[in-house]
Every structure is written in C-alpha cells, then in structure tokens.
Amino acid sequence: FSYHPFLMTMGFVGFMGSAAHRKKLGGYSNTKMHGIIASLGVMFSIGGLYIIYSNKEMNGKAHLTSNHSLAGIVTVTGCIMAMIPGAFVLHPDFGIDRSNKNIRFAHKWFSRSVIALGWITCFMGLQQLTNDTVTLAMYGLPLL
C-alpha cells in the first residue's frame, strides 16, 4: 500500500507540477521535456492506481468507496485525456495541429485543472490516514 501514496504524490506533485513549470519556460526543448515529464507523471499515477487496486483485491475490500477514490479515478482519467492530445496533436515535431491556439489553450487549462484536482485528491488521501493538523499542514501548505 505504501507505494500508492508515493507514486501518486510523485506523479501529480513531483512530475506533473514540474512539467507545467517547465512548459512556462517556453521554447522547443522545454516543450519536449514538458511532454516527457508530464507523461512520466501520468505513468506514476497509473502505477499508483494499479497498486491500490491490487491491494484492495488482495484484501477483498470494495473499490471506489470514498470521495478520495472517486476523485482519484476522475483525476487519473483526466491525466490520460490531457496526455493523448498533448502527445498526438500538440507535439512540437509531429503534432497534427500543433499551432492551433484554441487546442493549446484548452490543453493548458484542462491540464492545470487536473493537476489541481490531483493535488486536492492527494491531500484527501492523507486526511484519511491522519487527523494530525501538523502533518496535514506540512503536506498541504507547499501545494499552495
């Protein structure tokens, strides 16, 4: 189970947050690195989803029983939905509509929303594990 929070936090906070920041730097190489780092974040989050799914199956527990789990499914689905057009439509080398400003705008704001929801979902997961205000503050404040 301990790999689930690690992979999800690294995916959403570590990789996807860094990818968004990298894209803000602008330029061809930063755009390519943005895609690579964001894709790693998606893979980490899918790995975290697999870990918790497997853990619940092994222990005979029900799936999707909390707001955290529902938000997690929505968030991981959103990540995949952002990654696919990012990779095939907006890729700087072979994207089929890489200069379309409307698609770029939608990708940017949809992705930011998904990252924010991912951060909220990570915090919700920690709230299920502890009620310690100091721990929650130490985890949550850097996300702001």
As a whole number of Å, the end-to-end CA separation of the chain is 26
- Band the pLDDT of 65: cuts 50, 70, 90: very high
pLDDT tens for each residue of 85-131: 999 999 999 999 999 999 999 999 999 999 999 989 999 999 999 99
DSSP state at residue 132: -
The larger pLDDT score, comparing residue 120 to residue 142, is at 120
Q: Is the pLDDT of residue 50 over 80?
A: yes
For residue 42, give the nearest of 4, 69, 82 by alpha carbon: 82
Query: Domain total for the chain?
Result: 1
Residue-wise burial string across 34-65, b where 16 or more C-beta atoms lie within 10 A, e elsewhere = bbebbbbbbebbebbbebbeeebeeeeeeeee
The answer on pLDDT for 143 being more than 80 is no
Across residues 41-52, what is the average pLDDT?
A: 97
pLDDT, position 141 = 84
Query: Which domain CATH number covers 44?
Result: 1.20.120.1770
- Using CA atoms, how far residue 130 sits from 102, 105, 124, 133, 134, in Å, is 42, 38, 10, 8, 10
Domain extent for 14: 3-143
Q: What is the pLDDT of residue 101?
A: 95
What CA–CA distance (Å, rounded) separates 143 from 141? 5
Q: Which whole number is the average pLDDT over 54-58?
A: 96
